[in-house]
């Protein structure tokens, strides 16, 4: 049987992901990144948002573990 602490950690992880996907733009970004690596500029153009706004959304997704910044540039991928 799982410990209470394990369950709490799992529920907390679900909440982090749910918060990250609470924005329609972030959910759309996950779908765009699932198709392949994108620069922030390319992702912004695909979802019709500013680069600054898209960058903020990508940071939220990265903190939730849903995107990863590629070290060789300003690209992100779906994790």
Q: Average of pLDDT values for 32-45?
A: 93
What pTM, to 2 d.p., does this model score? 0.80
* Rounded mean pLDDT, 3-17: 94
Strand stretches in 1-79, DSSP E: 38-39, 67-69, 75-78
Q: 78 or 18: which carries more pLDDT confidence?
A: 18
For residue 72, name the pLDDT band (cuts at 50, 70, 90): low
């Amino acid at each position: 049987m799982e410990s209470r602490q394990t369950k709490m950690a799992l529920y907390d992880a679900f909440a982090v992901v749910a918060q990250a996907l609470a924005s329609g733009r972030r959910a759309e970004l996950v779908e765009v990144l699932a198709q392949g690596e994108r620069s922030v500029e390319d992702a912004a153009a695909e979802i019709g948002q500013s680069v600054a706004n898209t960058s903020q959304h990508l940071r939220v997704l990265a903190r939730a573990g849903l995107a990863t910044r590629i070290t060789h540039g300003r690209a992100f991928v779906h994790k």
